[in-house]
Structure 1
Amino acid sequence: MSAPYTTLISASELAALKGAFIVDCSHDLAQPEAGQFAYEQAHIPGAIFLHLDRDLSAPKTGRNGRHPLPDPDAFAARLAQLGLCRDQQVVAYDRAGGSFAGRLWWMLRWLGHDATAVLDGDWQAWMAAGGVSESAVPAARAPGDFRRRPARVGAVPARDVLDNLRSGKHLVLDARAPERYAGEIEPIDPVGGHIPGAKNRFFQTNLQPDGTFKSREQLREEFTALLEDWDPRDVIHHCGSGVTGCHNLLAMTHAGMDGSLLYPGSWSEWCADPSNPVATGHPPAKA
């Protein structure tokens, strides 16, 4: 048995792969049903669809962010019900540069499943490589034996991020667009700005113009420069709602810089508490 894919998989590698559990994670924050509509029009043969709001998130309370994590045991049981087996290769893709597929990649590692990868270049790469598609929804599969195992990634609550403002033990990395980080615009959440002290690494910076990820070497060089003397294990990633922060985690892991943490509640949870401090603007450039 060949080694599993644990970060990225190319369209040609996926075409040659047998027995993979393929998941379409397509989504649009502005039009939440657009991803499922696109899936129903065409998807990779055999792929199932998981909706960001309904399947990859728990119910919102108004204080726990826009995409709170579901109960891990319940999510593991759901995947088993859908037919996932232990050690089966999972391949996630979307139509947005892996920005939503990365969430499932992280969640499966959160459940202790290593054999999970994101399709590099996503749906567009699959079609450009001559991949076939179908519109029929696959027949229900027999339940699999997937079970939750010890987590391969770590998550931190808001209180740890707040404590970090005092302790400075972690570098906080914000994956949102620079103008949202700076508080110049905020199209989704009620408050603009960022967590004080956080650095900005827009997740789309991980991609090349064709939508595939930069090389391992280039990603490692860029993240090493950004982190300076910080150990990757001392980095806390976040974004607007715990989704695209996973993209930076995926990029770092692909570059061999594993061990960073995720703040799942992210900015949408942080700014829902008026007692949490907010910073705006861009940090001054180094001399």
Structure 2
Amino acid sequence: MALAQVISCKELSKQLNDKNLIIFDCRFSLDNPHYGKQAYQESHIENAIFIDLDLDLSSHVIKGKTSRHPLPNTDKLIAKLAALGLNNNSRVIIYDDGATPFATKMWWTLVWLGKRDNVYLLDGGFKAWQADNLPVTNKETMTSAGNFTGQPDANLLIDAKTLVTKLNDEQLTLLDARALPRFRGEVEPMDPIAGHIPGATCANFAENLDDTGHFLPTKELRERFQTLIQDKPIEKLIAYCGSGVSACHNLFAMCLAGYPLAPLYAGSWSEWITDPSHPIATGN
């Protein structure tokens, strides 16, 4: 079964009574960390459970040492997911607003923890659900404990120390998921230093989607990433972004297009710049 799968709003609406189904609402805003929980409390898909990027999918930020979204404590997260009702054999649906990368961060986290089967992203997200006039609720979802037991896969990660040793490899493909102005260093709304890791290629995650927030057809995604990778070996591709979130969107889209899951530099730019010995590039 493919790692990356999407499900349409229409398909999901027919499956809401499936007892083996668990739905995660991952809406979030980098500008307003309270937005996701507030939006969930106002309305969400029936039986959805809220997962918070800052509180659940990240650990404590240490200013000047970690990224803005350090990887979570795996034991705590696994225990929480089980407490929320996740089973090892659950069918999982994940959504955010639609054109944002937070659902893919949850997808990557589940894959990293070993949950690789029957995990789907809601194509178009909550905005598409609303556009289709499908029912919503503001009732908190009641859950009973599940049996999820995860184990993090170190092969899906690369750290800064290892990445430094690879920067002179001409076969390396380093994809930066941020928008072009941030990649070039022209603006930097989130971090104290602008620019990108030398040798990286800008691969704005938003270009994986059409104007409605749905994923592009797999053929178009394949062509997009083939252009970015060119003739370099896929085994030498690494993904990063600002804090290890939007890079997961590229990783999901690549898997959707038939590529294998590449490693994530989870610390990404916000961690990279905490070490003054790390090289920095600007422009194209």
TM-score by length of 1: 0.93
More divergent stretch after superposition (148-157 vs 200-209): 148-157
SS in 1 for 2:168: helix
Q: What does the per-residue CA deviation read over 1:100-144, in whole Å, with 9 as the maximum and x for residues that have no partner?
A: 1110000000011112121110001112223210001112x2210
Correspondence for 1:21: 22
Tell me the distance in 2 between the aligned counterparts of 1:257 and 1:270. 26
Please tell me the residue identity of whatever aligns with 1:121: G
**Residue ranges of structure 1 left out of the alignment (5+ in a row):** 283-287
Correspondence for 2:251: 249
Please tell me the residue identity of whatever aligns with 2:12: L
1:209-220 equivalences under 5 Å are 209-220=211-222
Correspondence for 1:261: 263
Correspondence for 1:131: 134
- Offset of 1:71 from its aligned partner? 2.1
Tell me the distance in 2 between the aligned counterparts of 1:152 and 1:116. 20
Q: Is the 8 A contact 1:101 1:118 kept in 2?
A: yes
Tell me the distance in 2 between the aligned counterparts of 1:127 and 1:232. 38
Aligned pair count?
Answer: 279
More divergent stretch after superposition (28-37 vs 89-98): 89-98
Correspondence for 1:285: none
Q: What does the per-residue CA deviation read over 1:45-72, in whole Å, with 9 as the maximum and x for residues that have no partner?
A: 0111111100110111121100011122
Q: Is the 8 A contact 1:233 1:261 kept in 2?
A: no
SS in 2 for 1:145: coil
Please tell me the residue identity of whatever aligns with 1:233: E
List structure 1 segments (4+ residues) > 6 angstroms apart after TM superposition: none
- Offset of 1:222 from its aligned partner? 1.1
SS in 2 for 1:166: coil
- Offset of 1:204 from its aligned partner? 0.3
1:264-283 equivalences under 5 Å are 264-282=266-284
The match for 2:6 among 5, 8, 11 is 8
Q: Is the 8 A contact 1:98 1:120 kept in 2?
A: no
- Offset of 1:149 from its aligned partner? 4.2
Correspondence for 2:166: 164
The alignment-based identity, stated in percent, is 41
TM-score by length of 2: 0.94
Correspondence for 2:223: 221
**Residue ranges of structure 2 left out of the alignment (5+ in a row):** none
RMSD after superposition: 1.7
Q: What does the per-residue CA deviation read over 1:187-231, in whole Å, with 9 as the maximum and x for residues that have no partner?
A: 110000000000010000000011100000100011111101123
Tell me the distance in 1 between the aligned counterparts of 2:178 and 2:89. 33
Please tell me the residue identity of whatever aligns with 1:131: L
- The reply on whether 1:40 has 2:10 as its aligned counterpart is no
